[in-house]
Chain A
Amino acid sequence: MPIDITMPRLSDTMEQGTIVKWHVAQGDAVESGDVLADVETDKATMEMQAYDDGTITSIAVPEGQPVEIGTVVAVMAEEGEDAETTPAPAAAPAPAEAPAPAEAPAPAEVPAPAEAPAPPATPHAEAPKTRAGHVRISPVARRLAEEHGVDITTLQGSGPMGRIVKRDVLSAVGATQETTASVPPSAAPGAPPTPAAPAPAAVVVQATPVARAAEKKPADLTVSSGFGLQSHSEPLSNMRQVIASRLVESKQTIPHYQVSMAFDMDPMVEMRTTLNDQLKSHGVKLTFNDLVLRCCALAMYTNPLMNASWGGDHIDYHGDVNVGVAVSLPPERGGGLVVATIRNADRKSLRAISEETHVLVDKARTKGLTVDEMSDATFTISNLGMYGVDNFTAIINPPNSAILALGAIQQKPVVRDGQVVVGHEMSVTLSNDHRVVDGATAAEYLVTLKDLIENPGMALV
């Protein structure tokens, strides 16, 4: 189903936005998290990011033209036709794809700590064809859905371009006798019309309604093409300028080096499952990110040399362990990245860390973080595990002297007690400022971390 990409609301006072630069063109393949465009609002120029994987089929709004929030600015086609057949894991990243917190694409994992828009677990991945609030739906269908409490993100639209229409809602409601009375005969998708379908040869009456509707569906998906890539250049958004200058400064002035290590994640997967089962009644749901963050903070406690900053003529060793979590922002916040700080993470319970992370990530993506909530990190975690990234290296976030890059938790053949078995493994890469942290120090830190992660019970207390 095509997915509408709409003008996001990027500030509380924003009513319309102008795409000052498209970073994608018709035909481009995009992945969730890709910056699609820079959007100028009444306040600033922000980034608009992709929330789905797929191909841009059309650009609806050209650069420089102000449009209202909610206006469709581009349309994207989901990858392939396999939406219905692809099992849940493959599809899982698409809908909620929270980029920042550590979350592995482990089977059946509902991604992202920020679960607000997470659709109820539907067996078919096609359900959330667009984000809630941006669903293509007829006005009366929307009203009926509200009246009957139907979550429209769970519906498969049978109208043109996947529009959810009245009959879709009513069939979801389980239409009563009275309500069906006002539904045209072919209302229930798939249900053949009760009246006899006249012969196709009839002048007035043509093919049966349902048959025609079914025929049309594939055609709807082939909205595409027209223009190729176009060479052009565009000015930078404010956020992009900040990211560029800070990371160039970091990469050019900090002598980076990396150390990597693979962790056996079986114990943590098992523990998390157990904990979440037991905590379910409390409404607590720990993520891998929460657990890893806690471990990182504890590891800092035993490796205080890591918890430091380069001061030019001195090194600052910090008394607090404040762990930053890189959070990628949704289009509503203009895309881009912010780092939310979990202060004194070494002294907080897992549950507190989980709650605070959840709150901050959610806030970053909706209302935005205060300066205080983004300051004073002494160490940063960046997680691309949910994308299935094996491993990667991250650029240090000054004035930190280290950043930990988390890869995906993957099932792979591992050697356990001399036997090759299937186990969960996660690869991490620690980038360090050699002015502050020497290689051995970094390696010791990873060893400590490995110990904690592979014996996660230690992280509980």
Chain B
Amino acid sequence: MPMAREIEFREALREAMSEEMRSDPRVFLMGEEVAQYHGAYKVSKGMLEEFGPRRIIDTPISESGFAGMGIGATMLGLRPIVEFMSWSFSLVAADQIMNNAPKILYMSGGQFGCPIVFRGNDGAGGQLGSTHSWCVESLYANVPGLKMIIPSDPYDAKGLLKSAIRDENPVFCLESERLLSIKGDVPEEEYVIPIGEAVIRRPGTDCTLVGFGRTVYFCEQAAEELAKEGIECEILDMRSIRPLDLDAIVTSVRKTNYCVVVDQSWSFASIGSEVAAEVHKACFDDLDNHVHRVHNDDVPAPYSHDLEQEMLPHARKICEAVRSATYNA
């Protein structure tokens, strides 16, 4: 990776969008405060100046309306990027993004695909309370016809978002407010990362930790602690949720015989439960214990700082799960 440089997660997202917009005039960015305000989280800073108001479009606060408008535009060949200031707000657009985007290809018998990207912040921010702290991954990943990416670092964010913009299917890109400022090496040269491929963040022999997005960092903290106890965790960053790189998980679990999934959404009918079910199926004879899951607590996100932190699938919970899974509890 020559010419490595460090940029922020939000800059990586911006570079992905800008590069794709430069090369494809069908691509445009639309959402609340994306243009003049430079994005509520400054992801699209400077894009209005480069691409102008016809392609960097401030919308009214009408998630259902502009999400549907983006979907409609794909039927005539455009490739919108629709930013939700927060995925929490996407719930009011649920009909459009769940009923139309992922199904229109099927409902039309192959006549109309929907090459659109929905992106925005997902998960607990900082004391945003119950309505603004949604983790929508389990909710939306349930729907066939869409793809979902949850990058955890700037390099992946850029490469995956570029793939998403080029994809012929609706892609949901879930970012984390807590990660937007982190920095990472991103090459100057153009690259893309295929959707659907996990990466090993930390090799290990004793227990497979499956995480994605922000939970990868929780996993890394836990792995540090556990290493002191002599338990070497292998951390898989799934990066994509649909398609899910089950092969990567299986390969790791066949090696370690233990698996802990860390998912920042609620546990019931979640990505964590999906991974657990698939691992139990694919790795039944390789498991020395059932798959353990670490999730957000099954409560609405609280406001109070300490309560919110405790709710998250944090390192202590992960350590406890790994010890239990590996019979070290």
Contacts and interface: CB of A to CB of B under 8 A. Distances in A.
Contacts of B222: 204
B328 A186 contact: yes
A165 B255 CA distance: 15
Interface residues of A, number: 31
Output the residue of A185, A197, A213 with the most chain B CB within 10 A: A185
Interface stretch (B106-114, B135-143, B185-193, B280-288): B280-288
A185 B231 contact: yes
A209 B206 CA distance: 14
Contacts of A166: 257, 288
Contacts of A210: 328
B288 A195 contact: no
B328 A139 contact: no
Given A182-B255, A184-B231, A205-B228, A139 B286 contact: yes
Contacts of B255: 182
Nearest to A207: B329
B298 interface: no
B316 interface: yes
Contacts of A193: 229-230
Interface string A124-163: 0000000000000011111100000000000000110000
A203 B286 contact: no
Output the residue of A165, A182, A203 with the most chain B CB within 10 A: A182
B207 interface: yes
A416 interface: no
B327 A205 contact: no
B287 A138 contact: yes
A209 B329 contact: yes
Interface string B312-329: 000110010001001111
B100 to A, nearest CB: 43
A138 B230 contact: no
A165 B316 contact: no
B328 A209 contact: yes
A198 interface: yes
B327 A213 contact: yes
B327 A184 contact: yes
B287 A185 contact: no
Contact of A198 (B228, B287, B326): B228
B205 interface: yes
B167 interface: no
Nearest to B318: A204
Output the residue of B207, B222, B285 with the most chain A CB within 10 A: B285
A186 B327 CA distance: 8
Output the residue of B257, B284, B285, B329 with the most chain A CB within 10 A: B257
A205 B257 contact: no
B229 A198 contact: yes
B276 to A, nearest CB: 14
Contacts of A196: 228
Output the residue of B222, B230, B231, B256 with the most chain A CB within 10 A: B230
Given A181-B205, A182-B255, A205-B319, A140 B327 contact: no
A196 B227 CA distance: 11
A195 B229 contact: yes
Contacts of B230: 184-185, 193-195
Interface in B194-229: 205-207, 222, 225, 228-229
A139 B287 contact: yes
B225 A205 contact: yes
Interface string B279-317: 000001111110000000000000000000000000110
Output the residue of A142, A143, A196 with the most chain B CB within 10 A: A143
A343 interface: no
A167 B327 contact: yes
A282 interface: no
A138 B222 CA distance: 25
Contacts of B229: 185, 193, 195, 197-198, 205, 209
Interface of A: 138-143, 158-159, 165-167, 181-186, 193-198, 203-205, 209-210, 212-213, 216
Interface of B: 205-207, 222, 225, 228-231, 255-258, 284-289, 315-316, 319, 323, 326-329
Given A138-B288, A141-B288, A197-B229, 12 more contacts: A138-B287, A139-B284, A143-B286, A181-B205, A182-B205, A184-B258, A185-B229, A185-B328, A186-B327, A205-B225, A209-B323, A212-B329
30 contacts: A138-B289, A139-B284, A139-B285, A139-B286, A139-B287, A140-B257, A140-B287, A140-B288, A143-B286, A158-B327, A165-B327, A166-B257, A167-B327, A182-B255, A184-B206, A184-B326, A185-B230, A185-B231, A193-B229, A193-B230, A195-B230, A196-B228, A198-B228, A198-B229, A204-B225, A205-B319, A209-B229, A209-B328, A212-B329, A213-B328
